[in-house]
Structure 1
Amino acid sequence: MDIDLTAAYDRCRELHRRHGRTYYLATRLLPAWKRRHVHALYGFTRYADEIVDRTEDLPPAERAARLDDWAGRFLAGLHGEPVDDPLLPAVLHTIAVFDLDRDDFASFLKSMAMDLTVTSYRTYDALLDYMEGSAAVIGTMMLPILGSSDPAAAREPARQLGFAFQLTNFIRDVGEDLDRGRTYLPDEDLAAFGVTRDDLLAARDRGAGTEAIRELIRYEVRRAQAHYVAAADGITLLDPASQACMRTAYALYGGILDEVAGQDHDVFVRRATVPQRRRMSVAARSLLTPTGTPVVVPGPDLAGPLAEADAVPAPRPVGG
C-alpha cells in the first residue's frame, strides 16, 4: 500500500480505538489482515456520525452541506476519482477488495441525513426503517470481511445483530440522545407506558427515572434481546477465524443490557458499561471456545413468560 493509504487505515484504526472500545476489543481477535478493513468501515461510519452529532452549534443547513460534501467525495471516489480525504481512501480500498454492496453505503448515508431533521419515530416500524440504513447494513457490509461458510444463510442474522447492537446503544444512551434533541424510543412505546418526552427530560435532569420509565426501558431491553436471539445462529456460520471476534462483540454488547437490568432498568443513574475485568474475561473465553460452539444468548428476561401487555414482536426479516 502507498503511504497515503496506510495513513488512512491508521486514521480509521485510531477512530475505532478511541470511540468504539467494545468493538475494538473484539476486533483484536481477528487475523491482522482483516482488522484494518473492519477499522475502515468503523472509521467511515464514525466520521459520518461525527459530522451529524458533533456540529450541533452549526445551522442545520450547514451541517447538511458538510455531510453532502463528504458524501459527494465518497461517491466520486467510488467512481474512480482522486479523493482528498484523510480516511476515505481506506474505505474505498476495502470496498474494492471485498466488492462490498454500494447500495449499503447509500442506505447508511441516507439514515445519517435523517438524523439532521428527524427527532423521533412514531412507531417501531418507522424506527426499523431508519435502522435499516444505520445498523442492518453495517452487518451486511461486515459479512464479506468476516467470511462465512454460507453467506446467504448468514445475511439475516448479520442484519439482526446490527439491529441488536444499535438498540442496545439507544437504550443505554437515552440521556445523551435527549441532549441532542432526539429520542429513539418509539412514541407509541412511550404512550403505552404513560411516559412523555418531558418525563424523560425531567429524569435526565434529576439523574433518576420513574417506575413508568423503568418499565418502558425493561420493555425495550426485551425487544433488543429478541434481536440477539434472531442473530445467534449467524455466529457459527462465520469463518472460524472470525468467530471469536463476533462471539466477544455479541457477549459484550449483550452485557450492556445486563448492566441496565442490574441497575433496575434506570438508564439515568449512570451510563451502563461492562467492567473492564469482565470485558477481558469474555474476550479470553471467546478465544478459547471451539469454533462452531453456539453462542450463549443474552436475556434471562426472555426465558420466562411475557405478559400480554409486555409482549415483544418478533424481529422483522428481510423484506418484512
Structure 2
Amino acid sequence: MEPTVCLAQCEAMIQKGSSSFYKAFRYLPSPRREAVYVIYAFCRMIDDAVDEPQRSPYTIDELEQHFYRLDQAADHFIWPSLRWLFDTFPLSKKPFFRQMEGQRRDLSFTHYETMEQLEDYCYLVAGTVGEMLLPVLHDQPDIQVIEAGIWLGKAMQIVNIVRDVGEDQSRGRRYLPLELLARHDYTESDFNMGVVDERFQHLVQELDTLSRSWFARGLRGLETYPASSAFSVELAASFYAAILDEVKAANYEVYKKRAIVSSLNKLKLYTNIKMKYTLVSEVNDSNAVSL
C-alpha cells in the first residue's frame, strides 16, 4: 500500500473511534499529525483485539508477533504506517509492548483490589501512550516532560474508567478497587446492582479529584513544547476533563448512561484555549467551525 493511503486509513480510524482525540490533534502540522493518527490506530487495534475480538483482524498475540517482526509484517495498512512512524520519529517499541501487556491483563485480571493495582493498570494502558506520543509532539523531551506525559495518560484512563463503569460491568470487569469501595461503604453487591447513591457519588468524586490532580501534573512543562503541540495536548486534556463534568451533571449515573461532551461544549473549550495560543495558524481557526 502507498504510505499516503495507509496514513489516511489511520486518520479514518481516529475520526471514527475518538472524536475528542481527533478534534484535539488534527491541528498539528504534518508529519506530527499523521504520527498521532498512526499511534491511535495501533492502540485501538490492540484494545479491540481484547475487547471486541470478533471484529478484530488480529488476536493480541498475532499483533505482538507482527510488531516484533515489523519489517516483514504485511496484509494490513497498520504495518506500513508503523514502519513510516518509526522511520520518521525516534520512538521506542517498549511502550507499545507494555501497552499490549496492559490490554492482555484484561483477559485474566478483571476485579481490582487496591488503588496501587489500578494505577499500575492506568500506566500500562494509557501512561504508555504518553510515552509513545512525546517523541512526536516534543522535539527534546527530558525526564520531567516524559513523566508529565505519563501522568496525563493515567489521568485520562481514570476518566475512561469513570465513564465506562456500566460498560465494563457488563463485560464482567470491575476497575473500581475494593479499597476504594470500602472507603465509601459501597459493596461489591452494590456495584453488581448498579446502585447510584450518595456513597457512590462520593466514590466517583474521589476518582474525579485524583484524575484532576494527575491532569495538573500532566500539563506541567507545556511551555517547552512547540506551540501547536502544546495547544493540542491542552485541548485533548480539557476535552477529557470535561467528561467528568458531564458525569456530575448526570448525577453520577454511569451504569446506564455514557457521559459525552457535546460539540458545542467542545467548541467553547477550543475557543477558550485557542486564545492562549497566538502562534497556532489561522487555517486552524477556519477549521474550528466543524467541531
User: What residue number does 1:307 align with?
Assistant: none
**Preserved CA contact (<8 Å) 2:164 2:258:** yes
The match for 2:51 among 50, 53, 65 is 53
Q: What 5-or-longer segments of structure 1 have no aligned partner?
A: 58-62, 293-320
What amino acid sits opposite 1:97 in the alignment? T
What is the match of residue 68 of structure 1? 61
Structure 2: 5+ residue runs without aligned partners?
Answer: 280-291
In 2, distance between residues paired with 1:287 and 1:146? Answer: 18
- Seen in structure 2, the aligned counterparts of structure 1 residues 19 and 82 have a Cα distance that, compared at 3 Å, is closer
Runs of 4+ in 1 over 4 A off after TM superposition: none
Q: Mapping of 1:1-320 within 5 angstroms?
A: 3-55=1-53, 66-77=59-70, 80-148=71-139, 150-203=141-194, 209-268=196-255, 270-290=257-277
1:163-211 CA distance string (max 9 Å, x none):
01110110111001111111111121112222223312312xxxx6122
Q: CA deviation at 1:81?
A: 2.1
CA distance in 2 between counterparts of 1:100 and 1:150 reads 12
SS of equivalent to 1:270? coil
**Structure 1 residues 125 and 56: CA distance shift in structure 2, 3 A:** farther
Q: Please report how far the alpha carbon of residue 223 of structure 1 lies from its aligned counterpart in structure 2 after TM superposition.
A: 1.1
Do 1:236 and 1:291's aligned partners in 2 also have CA atoms closer than 8 Å?
no
Maintained 8 Å contact 2:152/2:218? yes
> 1:149-173: per-residue Cα shift (whole Å, max 9, x none)?
6533211111100001110110111
**RMSD (Å) for aligned C-alpha atoms:** 2.1
SS at match of 1:230: helix
CA distance in 2, matches of 1:100, 1:22: 24
Q: What is the alpha-carbon distance in structure 1 between the residues aligned to residue 277 and residue 263 of structure 2?
A: 24
Q: In the alignment, which residue of structure 2 is the partner of 1:303?
A: none
Return the letter of the residue paired with 1:51: A
Measured in 1, the distance between the counterparts of 2:39 and 2:73 equals: 19
Counting aligned pairs with the same residue, the percent is: 27
* Shift in CA distance, 285/104, structure 1 to aligned 2, threshold 3 Å: same
2:289 matched residue in structure 1? none
Deviates more, 1:89-98 or 1:17-26: 89-98
Partner AA of 1:71 in structure 2: E
User: Are the counterparts in 2 of residues 29 and 287 from structure 1 also a CA contact under 8 Å?
Assistant: no
Deviations 1:229-252 (A, max 9, x none): 211213222111212111111111
Separation in 1, partners of 2:54, 2:202: 31
2:285 corresponding residue in structure 1 = none
Of stretches 229-238 and 158-167 in structure 1, the one that deviates more from structure 2 is: 229-238
Tell me the matched-pair count.
278
